[in-house]
Every structure is written in C-alpha cells, then in structure tokens.
Structure 1
Amino acid sequence: MEHDERDGAIERTTMRKVAWRTLPLLMLAYLVAYIDRTNISFAAVTMNADLGFSATVYGIGAAMFSISYALFEVPSNLLGDKVGPRRWLARILVTWGLLSAATSLVGNAWQFYLVRFLLGIAEAGFYPCVVLYISGWFPPEYRARAVSRFYVALPVAMIVMGGLAGPLLRLDGTLGLRGWQWLLIAEGIPSVLIGLLVFLILPDRPETAGWLAGDERAWLVRRLARDATEAAEGRVRHGWRAVLHPLVLLLGLANLLNFVPVSAVVVYAPKMLMAFNAWSVDQAGALVALCGVITAMTTIGTGMFVDSSARRYFLAYGAHLIAAALGLALLSSATRGPALVVSTGYCLFMACSQAAGLLPVTLLSRLLHPGERAAGLAMGNTISQLGNFIGPVLFGIIYDASGGYRMGLAAIAPVPLVAIAIALMAGRTAGVLGPARRGAGGEVHGLG
C-alpha cells in the first residue's frame, strides 16, 4: 500500500513537471503556426483588391499550402523521427516563418501560388511530429488532455489574429508598405524566434531530461515502455505499411470531410462576416477573437472527456460534428443578418468543428502499434489536409459563380454529417464501437 502511494505521488509530480516543461513551448509554436497559415484570411481584406485577385484565384492560392503540406507530410514526419523532434521542429518553425513573411512580396497570382506551396513544404510534418513527441512523454490516459492543451493554441491564435489584424492593416502606407504586407511580416518573424527557442530548450526524450529527478525519470521510462509493450501485444510492426492501415485511412478521410467546411470558413471568415453584417475589419476581428475563447474552452473540455477511453473519442467526434452542421445551417440561412444569428452560427460551427479536428490523429496515437505511429500519424494528417485544399477552392468557385456566400455555405453544410458516417466505420474497424480486446491504457489490440 505504501509502495502504491509512493508511486502515485511520483506519477503526479512527474506528469506535472512534464506538462509544464513541454506543453507551453509547443503551444506557442502551434499558435504562430496557425497564425502564419491563416493570416492570409485577414490580409485578403485589402490584398485581393490591391493585386486584382478573384475569389477563385485567392481560394486556389490559400489552398496551395495544403497540397504541398499533404505531399511532404509523411516523409517529413519520418525524418523528424530519425533526427529528433527538437531539431526538426526548430527547422520547421524557422523556414515557415521566413516564407510567411515572404508572402508580403508577392505581386501576382503565380507568385502567390508559389509562396503558399513552399510554405506548405516548410510546415509539413509539424502537427504529427508534435503528436508523436507527446506520445513519447505522456502515457495514453494523459495523452488527449496533453494534445488538447497543445491544440488550444489554435483558438488562441484566432484571438490574437482577431485583435491584431485591424491595427496592422491600418499601418497601410507606413514605410511604403501596404497594410496587408505589414500584417504578414509582423506575424511571420515570431516563428523564427520561437524556432530558435525550441532548438535551445525543448528536450528530445525523457531519458535526457535533466529537470526530472532520478526516480521520476525511472518511473516515466518504465511506464512508457509498459504502455508500448501493451500496445504492441500480439501484433507485428508494419512500419511503412501503416500508411495503408484501414483505421488510418478512415479516420483521415473523416477529418478530411471535417476540414473541407472548416478551411472554407476560416479562409473567408473576415470578408464574409464583414459582408453579412456591414461590419468593419475590427468588428469582424472581435467576433473571430470571441469565437477563439469559446473554441479554447470547448477544446480543453473535449480533451478531458475523451481521455478515459477510446470509445469516447467517437462519441465526442459525432456530437461535435452534429453541432457543427447545425452552426453551418444557421450561418447559411442568415447571410444578411440578424447579426446575432450569424454570430451564433459562426461560433457554434468553429468551436465544435475545431475541437473535433484534434481527435482523429490523437486517437491514432493511442491505437496504433508504437512502430507504426510515425508513418500512421503522418498519413492520417496528410489525408485530413486535403480537405484544406478542397474547401477554399470549392468555396471560391461557388462564390464567383453565384456572387455571394450563401450557396457555398449551403453546399458544405451537410459535409460534417458524412464525416460522422466515416468515423463510425472507423470505430467498427477498430473494434472500439463493438467487442474488442484492450490494454490497460485503452489501446485496441488486433488492429494489425
């Protein structure tokens, strides 16, 4: 009994230290990643007119990021697994920060496409590399909470973008630069600085963490080894074959369908909200920031709910996407106000769809054989990212054809419901929504 109490005290102390030493820096990195990936939505308020971009040209350019991101996701994550997460994440941050700032130099559509494509190459592997890193520090029952706290940087980025966009755009003409150029430069440079910080202070693995006491390090290494053994029990490591694993493909496809409407709304949100309610960019930014607060709370709550079992991942995913579809329906039915209905639909959709987005890759980190995680996580996220290409392009084409946002919103409103159906298939494939043999940490055996 005394031994169990001592182990429990070591566990609590160790996991508290690990969380505080790793997650804040990872959150900061993801915050600047999401800002650099999506700040183009606010830049477009004046950039499109300055450069003569149609909605289709803008949508294709915004989506080019996702094509290169998807193409280079798996090799990037496997390289990161070889060279170590600290070095690889630092490289990713520095290169994407420089390319994000370089977007301010574009002068025509082809330059816009090229820079966005290069930005996707630079950032490829970031998210699955972080989830893989977290898997190497947090046992399964802590993992979803850890990922949700990292993922909460996404809504925090919405708050930051919403607050900074207006003031930065008002720098128009300062030192001969347009406001959208100032926005892209000012929000790109911090990534370079954070990349240097990651290289200097992020530990690679528990064995090298000098801030853990000897008994804490021994407990964590022993616990992670036990979890890895249970996850691999009775199964053969497939490595690269994990990219064709049915569970990886189905969960990736489900999140692809989730990301189609998410990316469309994110990329067009400022201009769309300004058009719906005759708002200024500051008013649109305020709603985006408010929605970020709601999304942050939803994300943290989701992580706490799903940690206890794999089954809860699917329950939360389905509930969130039903609510997201309702939010899209509200938004598409109220494209000319009242402002309260537009705001409610937007916030309901963004909070629920973004919180749902963290679940598939996190679930894969729990269910896959440890030897399959690098390839499997990258492939799952690669498939998901294709939704970020389809959404903006489709939405831009429909906007140019119809002259408004309503038809585009109506077209993407049912998509989350299809994602639920695919996720249910994944749950049956894994045995999570039916009889299955599980380890102590909730890993489903027999997937290989």
Structure 2
Amino acid sequence: MVLPGVTDSAELHLASDSSLGQRTLRKAGWRLIPLLSVCYMVAFMDRANISFAALQMNRDLHFNAGIYGFGAGVFFLSYAMCELPSNLLLLKFGARRWIARIMLTWGVLAAAMMFVRSPLSFYALRFLLGMAEAGFFPGVLYYLSLWFPQEMRSRAIGRFYIAFPLSNVLMGLIAGSLLSLNGRLGLKGWQWLFLVEALPAIVLSVVVWNMLPDGPADAKWMEPEERAWLLARLREDAAAIERSGGKSGHHAGVLSVLLSVLKEPRVALIGVYMFLSLGSYYAFSFSAPAIYQAATGWSTNRVGALIAGIALAGAAGMLIVSWHSDRIRAKVPYIVGLSLLTAMSFAVSGMVRQPWVMIVALGLASVSYYASQGPALSLSTTFLDGPAAAVGIAAINMLSIIGGFVGPNWMGWAIQHGGGTRVGTGMLSIAYLMAALVILIVSRKGAAARC
C-alpha cells in the first residue's frame, strides 16, 4: 500500500537527496491529505444526501421530479457564481481561515435543510448551501499544488478526491438507518438525515482552523531542511511552467492574472470537459437510489449497500489510475479512455431491459468516472501555477458546477416528460463522447509536455 504523499524510490526524480524528498512528502501527505479528504467527504455528503432524503421527502412534501431536479441543481448555480470570488478571497485570507469559514457556514445551512416545507424553501436553502460551500473544492486543489510537485500531483489529488466515492459508501451505509428514525422526537427520517450528516462539518471547521497551515512556509511541523527542499522543488516546477509558455501570475495584479487566465483556451476547454463529465455524473447520481430501487425493488438499506459497493470499486480505480498516470507521466490517454468507457456503459444502460444488466452497466459507468478524476483534476496544473492556478482551477470548476445544475434538471425532465430514466441515462453517453473529444483537442493544443 502506498501512503498519502509518498512515492516509491524508482519515481523520485524530485531531488538529489531522495531520502529528504521522501521524508518531506510523506510528512506533508499524512498531515494534510487525510484531513482534507475527510472534509470533502462531509462536503459531498451534505450536497448529495438529498438523493436519499428524496425517497421520503418527495412523498411527504409532494415534490414531483421537476421540483426535485431543480432543487438538486440550483445548489450549483450559486456555487458557480461564487467560485472565483471565493478562491480570490482564499488568496487574501489564507487557506486555514477561509476553508474553516466555508465549512462552518455550509454545516449550519446543511442542517437547516431539515426545515424545508415547500418548493420555495427547498430552492432557497439549496441556493444558500451552494453559496456557502463555493470555493472549497477548487481551493483545496490549489492548496495541494502548493505542497506536491508535478510528478506526484495526480496521486495527491487522487488520494484527496477518494473522499468522493467514499462519501457515497458512507451515505449508502448510514442513509437507511437515519431514514428509519422516521417519527423519533417528532422528526421525519429525512430530517434526521440532514441534521446528523451536517454536524461533522461544524466540528471539522474548528479542526481546520487549528491544524491547517496556509502553506509550507507556515508548517511548524516541517523541519527547516524539509521546507527548503519543498519550496525549491516547487520553484523548479513554476520555472518549468513559465518556460513552456504557461502562466503563474506571481508578479502580476489580480485583474491582470484574471484576464490572462480567462483568455487561455485550455482553461475554457478543460472547463467544458468538466461541465460535460461532472454534470452528467450528477444527473445520474442524484437519481441513482431511486433508479436502483425501481429496477430491483430492494429496500433502502440494500440499495445503499449496492451504491456503497460500487463506490468502493470506484475508489480503488481512482487510486490505481492516479498512481499509474503519474508513473508514466500521461494523463490524457486515461481521461479519454475512461470517458469513452463511461459513455459506452451509459449507452448500454439505456438500451437493455434486464435489470441486472442495467445495474452492471451503471456500476461500470460510475467506476470509470471515478477512476478518471485524478488525472483530470490535475491537468490544469501542468500549465498553471501560483495565483494563475488558483484562478484557473476556480474558473474550470465554475463551468463544471454549472453542469451540476444542468444535469439533475435534465434527468428530472427526462423522468417526468421524456420517457423515464432509461432515456435520461442513455443520453448521458453523448455527453461523455463529447467530453473525450474535448480532451483530445486540449492535448492537440499542447496542454503540457507531460500530459
């Protein structure tokens, strides 16, 4: 097993003193990645737990598929609107303060979801939750680029982002139990789900405030020679990016950096890829419990266990692909190949009639999507560094999050008017085919020599 932030000896091209490099990255990995990963696991649960809550909430509040789809998606509109401002504020206030603030406010609003009584209150709280959480994910991606060199950035991001599939594991395992509390203390099961799953974010905001350094220069747990090695290695990466025509923004004003990054075509193209990929995945995942339950007739607990098993396989795929893409220094082949596999799987799910074949196809689509995320999320940092990376990552994530609004609304419309979930999931294959094509265009534009 490879530990967070660790490379094996054959991969250490990072310094003449490989033992110092190993020790430094191992320490950074253990100090940072588990905490950030747990934080993101909680974040994803608090944005996506409505997929399980909907099994009771939609019935209790008389929400149809259209109301639910819009409410699920409106979170992403406010998230997208606040993405860039949030990352710019992170640069101003520092990672520790800003990430702690994000977690505290989203925890309070996630708990407030238990007070939803009408479509309007549902839309309003989801919109506010998106505003509160905006900036966390792109902020962490930028933050990791301050600690881990290019040669292992896919692995660092993959080990952080493993929280994505693991959050589905945890949701799947506990959702049934929380929903079964229906009627306890006068609360519905879905209200218990929102309340209990929101509390960890509030607790973790205190942990982040006290434990997360703003960067290597502020890490009191790092020895002087370790800090010097890491900062020197990251400066080498920054210099290599600038020599290859990339952008850093270290010596420019905020407006100059913003305009420079937004005019970079590779940022827009990767944003389009993420819009198609993430938007399509959210279209499926927010309806996945209902789709699986309708296909199998299983209880909520059994459906949760199925989703948990698929997510565990996705987590394994994410770790393996992230490790190997760094090892061979190739991101694009993995991103394109796995996008095509996801497209094929969704196409099959829309054509078959046998429930077990549909479940296998949808499971394979989820696993291949998860596996692609390490190289996909680190692609922009092959040509962006420093403040330019903070702006570029936020811009890319802004486009991907808009996809998160479009996707669930598309699925809600498909279920209500367009022929049901088979049409909805089957049509997602087109989006993934387009996503693969976009990444091929990025590679033709020379996203980086090491893509």
TM-score scaled by length of structure 1: 0.92
Instruction: Map 1:26-45 onto structure 2 (within 5 A).
Output: 26-45=36-55
Residue 341 of structure 2 is aligned to residue 332 of structure 1: no
The Cα offsets for residues 190-221 of structure 1, whole Å up to 9 and x where unpaired, read as: 11101110111111111121211221111111
Decide whether the 8 Å contact of 1:138 with 1:146 is kept in 2.
yes
Deviations 1:352-373 (A, max 9, x none): 1133244333111221143411
- Greater Cα shift, 233-242 or 322-331: 233-242
Q: Which of 412, 416, 428 is 1:412 aligned to? A: 428
- Partner of 1:274 in structure 2? 293
Letter in structure 1 aligned against 2:417: A
**Matched residues in 1 for 2:38 and 2:410: separation?**
31
Distance 2:408 2:38 in 1: 26
Matches within 5 A, 1:182-261: 182-233=192-243, 235=245, 237=249, 238-241=256-259, 242-261=261-280
1:14 maps to which of 8, 24, 27: 24
In structure 1, what residue type is equivalent to 2:267? V
Secondary structure at the residue paired with 1:413? helix
Question: Cα distance, 1:403 vs. partner?
Answer: 5.6
Query: How many angstroms apart in 1 are the aligned matches of 2:52 and 2:416?
Result: 19
One-letter code aligned to 1:33:
A
Displaced runs of 4 or more, over 6 A: none
Residues 1:290 and 2:309 are matched in the alignment: yes
Tell me if structure 2 keeps the 8 A contact 1:232–1:370: no
Instruction: Give 2:68's match in structure 1, choosing from 48, 54, 58.
Output: 58
1:435 paired residue number: none
Alpha carbons 1:131, 1:147 under 8 Å: kept:
yes
Over residues 58-94 of structure 1, what are the superposed CA-to-partner deviations in whole Å (9 max), with x where a residue is unaligned?
A: 0000000111111110110111111111111111111
Aligned length in residues:
429
Q: Is the 8 A contact 2:347 2:427 kept in 1?
A: no
- Structure 2 portions without partners, runs of 5+: 1-13, 250-255
The Cα of 1:306 is off from its aligned counterpart by 1.9
Structure 1, unpaired ranges of 5+? 433-437
Deviation at 1:234, TM superposition (A): 6.8
How big is the shift at 1:292?
A: 1.0
CA contact (8 A) 1:240 1:372 kept: yes
SS in 2 for 1:307: helix
Compute the displacement of 1:260 (Å).
2.6
Equivalent-residue separation in structure 2 for 1:143 and 1:421 (angstroms): 24
CA deviation vs aligned residue, 1:274-303 (integer Å, no higher than 9, x gap): 001111111110111001110100111121
| Contact 2:382–2:447 (CA under 8 A) maintained in structure 1 | no
Q: Which residue of 1 aligns with 2:4?
A: none
1:171 is paired with a residue of what secondary structure? Answer: coil
The counterpart of 1:263, out of the listed 258, 274, 282, is 282
Q: 8 Å contact 2:314–2:368 — kept in the other structure? A: yes
The superposition leaves residues 32-74 of structure 1 with CA deviations (integer Å, 9 ceiling, x where unpaired) of 0110110000000010011110101100000001111111101
Give the deviation of 1:309 after TM superposition.
6.1
The aligned amino acid for 1:330 is V
The one-letter code matched in structure 2 to 1:239 is V
In the alignment, the residues of structure 2 paired with residue 27 and residue 188 of structure 1 have an alpha-carbon distance, to the nearest angstrom, of 16
Deviation at 1:431, TM superposition (A): 5.2
Contact 1:328 1:349 in 2 (8 A): yes
Paired position in structure 1 for 2:126 = 116
